[in-house]
A and B are shown apart, each in its own frame.
Chain A
Amino acid sequence: MAVDTTKNPVPFEMAQIPGPEMAKAYNTAVIGAILKKAKRPLLVVGAELFEDPVMFDKAIEIGKTGVPIAATAHSIKGFVDRGYTENVHMIGLHPLTNYLRFKDWQGLDGKGQYDVVIFMGIFYKFASAMFSALKNFNRDIKRVSIDRYYHVNADMTFGNLAFNPDQYHEAVDEVIAKLKA
């Protein structure tokens, strides 16, 4: 049975209540379908992957489906260590989000702006603020979180799974399966 990722849609840091427009928690099938449908998706991963290293393997699985990866903070090291750097780009989350908010940016590969960004493994408060920047200043990009937290400033997110790593891993696996299907 699929993991219910719509449960517990409460901001991970309780006081992160931005305003009238807040994220909806979706199940893995819907999120997977959105990613699969995306024309120019970008997976953005951060340094929290080091705390749960199996997530690097899952990011690589996503990368192998053709989704390019922006490795923020020093997370590139996790990919280098695993010998996978094919479509992985080293860039800070702050400058990356700055580029993403401009419609004329041509992307990390020079082929054009992205239509869906997927955040995973990024320090909660930072990721939330970057989602907020896109929410307010470039609404053409769909904001998806497949992190273990409910991300209030995303368009689509899981509910909080922070205290159940097994369920979280399973949920990400379900998204990957949908992406591969």
Chain B
Amino acid sequence: MDKMEGSFAVEDMQNVQINIGAIVKEVEEWDQPMGPFPYPSIATLRDWDFKIMNRYKVFYSPICDRCTLCTYGPCDLTGDKRGACGIDQAAQQGRIVLIAVLMGCTAHAAHGRHLYHWCLDKFGDLPFKMGDEILVDAPLTRTIAGIKPKTLKDFGPVMSYVEEQVSQLLACTHTGQEGNFADFESKALHAGMLDSLGKEVSDLIQIVAYDMPRGDEDAPLVECGMGTLDKNKAILITYGHNLAGSAEAMFYTEDNNLWDKVDIGGVCCTAIDNTRICEGIGHPDKEFNDKYRMVGAKAKIAGAIGWWRKMVRGDCMDCIMVDEQCVWTDAIVDAEKYKVPLIATNEKIMLGLPDRTNDPVDEIVDDLVNFRMPGVVVLDPVKAGEVGVKTAIAVKPKRAEIREADPFLSEEDFKKYAESCTYCHSCQFVCPPHIKIGDVVRAAAEGNYEPLSTTYEICVGCRRCEQVCPQDIPILSLYAYANRDYIRNQKFKMRAGRGPVKDTEIRRVGAPLVLGTIPGVIAIIGCGNYPNGTKECYDIAREFVDRGFIVAATGCMAMDMSLYTDEEGKTIWEQFPGGFDGRNICNIGSCVSNAHLHGAGIKVATIFAGRNERANYDDIADYILSKVGACGVAWGAYSQKAASIATGFNRLGVPAVVQSHSVMYRRAFLGRTDKREDWEIIDARDGSKVYCEPAPEHMLYVAESVEECMLMMAKLCFRPSDNNSGRMIKLTHYCDISMKYFGCMPPDWHIYVRHASDLPLKWKEDMMKELESKYGWEIDWKRKAILSGPIRKSDVSFDPTNIERKIRVKK
């Protein structure tokens, strides 16, 4: 990106930018001067990355001790050994982490690139407008690229930048390139940042092109769950993340008045995005707006990724359209077995199927409906949508006939399979959440279906058990049979994705967030590989929304938390309002929408604190790390996208907690509280160094149980900038969660106390006694004041930073 690196703004000539070697043009009406790092390359933000890693030690837990990537291998890297190329274990782990983060980053960015081309083709170059309440309208694009897009086409150079950086980063993983773990991690952090940018571009393009909600806290409640799919109609399932084909199926259904004949249900993030279509402030194309207004509310959320194979076995579909990302790669095997025609609509997933893009629709439909082929590729979204709807409607009666003659699983089959279990435990050996499948099947053989019901939501649907069963018991089918009533009745409400956080909301919560009186933002993010079932999604969300945190969800966790209700039968979306505020829960949208959570952090820095975000990434990240109490959680994290999402959050100064399977990511960032020097922070007022409490203590943390997850999330919302009232509130939640789930106070509560007014009121007296007796602090009991002991004194004017250039006056 030579041209971009050579860009500069001319003093006193606002809106003019000169690109060396390129054209001179007006940039935009934006009064912010260009920051120091427009379009940063690999090494540009390395200093910031090393600051993060000096405090949060890179921790590796290798899953494989070997390297098998070149012909010198396999090389054993265990312990101190090095490979033939010279690489050591730490660097090899960093290399694998970088590759994983790049996989995630490219999945999001390529999604954005596809949407960019498709939306420009379909809608033309639309003006980029996010409405009157969102003026900081593309925060990551502004912060990273230093540009303010005016139309969709302006995102083209941003995508090109991401693609070039990805290419450079991937090159670094070749044998004989990078050899140091910290530099691999700096590159992974760079890829994580690019991932956040790619997500933002993807979502902003679809928000504008498909007129999705722009920060609507009252986005409609949509139907969610397998039971919402009307079996009296044909059921078309659209599965993946890219709505292009799925949206066309909806438009075709609307144009032809077919909603009484077909139900369109989404799986994974396509589900969320379907329900956002045309629910925004109004499409600029009047005809399109008139025609499709609120069409999104007609689509249904069939379910999150973890439910996919359960839906197949539960006979919840007549036709499948797959697009991209998180589609189980054996979808076509299931589709063929259960006679559900499959249409692949995106080049990224073609499954060995014939490309019928150029064939007439009716010919394709005829072949699918008569099962001449199990599936087809149709890369034109418009044609794919029509094929999907027509096939679903036409194949439904044929499938019904087949099922009548040969049901999925009869009562007799069920008994026969259950009784054939030899209790060998092969299934339990491979079950990720350790379900005692042998016991469950044995109980079923004895006529007790309850264990099959109670473990249904815990099963992640991986099908490993079936593959190792020496008796070939179709265990997922036993689950589906025993839970057929549950499947029928799985009917809930979920709030449609609302899109970005509004500037007005940030103005409202900015001060309480930075001071700590809103104790934090809890960002709940996607995926379905839960260690102990979907219920924990709801439990986490409910715990924090009840405590007054701002809770924001995206992706599959948003769907999974919708499957539970309170005593009044209300889902969490019906219990709480959908704003970005304390005691609210907002569904931001799909996976790519979680860029708006990065965006919310950036907006606190720019709208509340008046920081210039333009090409000023490290400054903004430093502000967020020091002052914005926020913590991400990916309790069902499974994919490389989750790795890139978390890494992107980390570079922006936001810590994340993940579940115990996430050790597969191999790397964490963990603080050492015993190392005083790691926690020195600069006071920007005069450059003095202040030894701070570890806030936040870790950057990427694996929790073993949901209880530990919740405690850690509360703890990772501490920030050095908390005022006394804010610290007291945060400490109250931290201690209260510990008392609730651990039965005792956390052992480190005292290190977060700077002043007596930081102490939670309900334990204040006891805590002061303990500070004196156990930790030797000096207490003035008359004034109820702490005289000595804390790591640092409370100072309302303290302006913490980790960046030297932020020092205002040097001491």
Residues of A at the B interface (CB closer than 8 Å) are: 10, 12-15, 18-21, 46-47, 72-74, 76-77, 80-81, 85, 89-95, 97-99, 101-102, 105-106, 122-126, 128-130, 132-133, 135-137, 139, 162-163
CB pair A136–B701 under 8 Å, yes or no, is no
The 7 closest A-B pairs by CB, nearest first: A19-B65, A129-B663, A73-B704, A129-B61, A80-B743, A74-B707, A73-B705
CB pair B744–A123 under 8 Å, yes or no, is no
**15 intermolecular pairs with C-beta atoms under 8 Å apart:** A14-B430, A18-B62, A19-B66, A20-B78, A21-B76, A80-B744, A90-B744, A90-B747, A97-B59, A98-B59, A123-B434, A124-B434, A128-B663, A129-B61, A129-B664
The CA-CA distance from A126 to B89 in the complex, in Å, is 19
CB pair B674–A125 under 8 Å, yes or no, is no
Q: A47-B705, A85-B744 are in contact. List 15 more A-B contacts (CB 8 A).
A: A13-B432, A14-B430, A18-B65, A46-B704, A47-B704, A74-B742, A77-B741, A89-B747, A97-B61, A99-B674, A123-B660, A124-B434, A132-B63, A133-B61, A135-B79
Q: Does B484 contact A (CB under 8 A)?
A: no
The CA-CA distance from A124 to B62 in the complex, in Å, is 15
Contact among A15, A20, A102, A125 for B661, CB-based, below 8 A: A125
The CA-CA distance from A98 to B670 in the complex, in Å, is 7
Contact among A18, A89, A90, A136 for B742, CB-based, below 8 A: A90
**A residues less than 8 Å from B157 (CB atoms):** none
Q: Does B407 contact A (CB under 8 A)?
A: no
The CA-CA distance from A19 to B66 in the complex, in Å, is 6
Distance of A83 from chain B, by nearest CB (Å): 11
CB pair B63–A77 under 8 Å, yes or no, is no
Contact among B59, B76, B660, B708 for A19, CB-based, below 8 A: B76
CB pair A90–B64 under 8 Å, yes or no, is no
Distance of A178 from chain B, by nearest CB (Å): 28
**A residues less than 8 Å from B63 (CB atoms):** 18, 129, 132
Q: Does B588 contact A (CB under 8 A)?
A: no
Per-residue A-contact encoding for B575-592, CB less than 8 Å = 1, 0 else: 000000000000000000
Distance of A161 from chain B, by nearest CB (Å): 12
Per-residue A-contact encoding for B84-123, CB less than 8 Å = 1, 0 else: 0000011000000000000000000000000000000000
The CA-CA distance from A46 to B670 in the complex, in Å, is 19
The CA-CA distance from A19 to B63 in the complex, in Å, is 9
The CA-CA distance from A135 to B62 in the complex, in Å, is 9
The CA-CA distance from A77 to B743 in the complex, in Å, is 5
Distance of B743 from chain A, by nearest CB (Å): 4
Distance of A180 from chain B, by nearest CB (Å): 28
Q: Does B703 contact A (CB under 8 A)?
A: yes
The CA-CA distance from A124 to B704 in the complex, in Å, is 10
**B residues less than 8 Å from A128 (CB atoms):** 663
CB-CB under 8 A for A92 and B701, given A74-B707, A85-B744, A99-B674: yes
The CA-CA distance from A125 to B315 in the complex, in Å, is 33
Q: Does B251 contact A (CB under 8 A)?
A: no
Per-residue A-contact encoding for B647-669, CB less than 8 Å = 1, 0 else: 00000000000001101101010
Distance of A19 from chain B, by nearest CB (Å): 3
**A residues less than 8 Å from B708 (CB atoms):** 47, 72-74, 92
**B residues less than 8 Å from A92 (CB atoms):** 701, 703-704, 708, 712
CB pair B661–A21 under 8 Å, yes or no, is no
Per-residue A-contact encoding for B34-45, CB less than 8 Å = 1, 0 else: 000000000000
Residue of A nearest to B702 (CB): A94
The CA-CA distance from A162 to B701 in the complex, in Å, is 28
CB-CB under 8 A for A126 and B704, given A76-B743, A92-B712, A99-B672: yes
CB pair A126–B660 under 8 Å, yes or no, is yes
CB pair A123–B704 under 8 Å, yes or no, is yes
CB pair B65–A21 under 8 Å, yes or no, is yes
CB pair B64–A77 under 8 Å, yes or no, is no
**B residues less than 8 Å from A135 (CB atoms):** 65, 78-79
The residue among A74, A76, A98, A105 with the most chain B CB atoms within 10 A of its own CB is A74
The residue among B89, B660, B664, B704 with the most chain A CB atoms within 10 A of its own CB is B704
The residue among A12, A99, A123, A129 with the most chain B CB atoms within 10 A of its own CB is A129
Question: Total A-B pairs in contact (CB under 8 Å)?
Answer: 147
CB-CB under 8 A for A126 and B702, given A90-B747, A139-B79: yes
Contact among B59, B428, B666 for A163, CB-based, below 8 A: B428
**B residues less than 8 Å from A15 (CB atoms):** 430
CB pair A98–B60 under 8 Å, yes or no, is no
**B residues less than 8 Å from A97 (CB atoms):** 59, 61
Q: Does B531 contact A (CB under 8 A)?
A: yes
**B residues less than 8 Å from A126 (CB atoms):** 660, 663, 702, 704
Contact among A89, A93, A99, A132 for B704, CB-based, below 8 A: A93
Distance of A138 from chain B, by nearest CB (Å): 10
The CA-CA distance from A130 to B663 in the complex, in Å, is 9
Residue of A nearest to B80 (CB): A139
Q: Which of B43-67 contact A (CB under 8 A)?
A: 57, 59-66
Residue of B nearest to A108 (CB): B747
Residue of A nearest to B737 (CB): A74
Residue of A nearest to B429 (CB): A14
Q: Does B300 contact A (CB under 8 A)?
A: no
Contact among A18, A21, A80, A101 for B59, CB-based, below 8 A: A101
CB pair B663–A125 under 8 Å, yes or no, is yes
**B residues less than 8 Å from A129 (CB atoms):** 61, 63, 663-664, 666
Residue of A nearest to B658 (CB): A94
Contact among A47, A72, A123, A132 for B61, CB-based, below 8 A: A132
**A residues less than 8 Å from B674 (CB atoms):** 99, 105-106
**A residues less than 8 Å from B90 (CB atoms):** 137
Q: Which of B667-712 contact A (CB under 8 A)?
A: 668, 670-672, 674, 697-698, 701-705, 707-708, 711-712
CB pair B65–A94 under 8 Å, yes or no, is no
CB pair B660–A125 under 8 Å, yes or no, is yes
Q: Does B746 contact A (CB under 8 A)?
A: yes
**B residues less than 8 Å from A20 (CB atoms):** 65-66, 76, 78
**B residues less than 8 Å from A125 (CB atoms):** 432, 660-661, 663-664
Distance of B749 from chain A, by nearest CB (Å): 11
Q: Does B233 contact A (CB under 8 A)?
A: no
**A residues less than 8 Å from B57 (CB atoms):** 98
The residue among B61, B744, B747 with the most chain A CB atoms within 10 A of its own CB is B61
Distance of A122 from chain B, by nearest CB (Å): 7
CB pair A95–B704 under 8 Å, yes or no, is no
Q: Does B425 contact A (CB under 8 A)?
A: yes
The residue among A15, A19, A76, A81 with the most chain B CB atoms within 10 A of its own CB is A19
Residue of A nearest to B426 (CB): A14
CB pair B64–A18 under 8 Å, yes or no, is yes
**A residues less than 8 Å from B672 (CB atoms):** 98-99, 102
CB pair B79–A19 under 8 Å, yes or no, is no
Residue of A nearest to B56 (CB): A98
Residue of B nearest to A163 (CB): B425
Contact among A12, A13, A81, A162 for B743, CB-based, below 8 A: A81
**A residues less than 8 Å from B664 (CB atoms):** 125, 129
The CA-CA distance from A125 to B638 in the complex, in Å, is 14
**A residues less than 8 Å from B66 (CB atoms):** 19-20
Q: Which of B69-88 contact A (CB under 8 A)?
A: 76-80
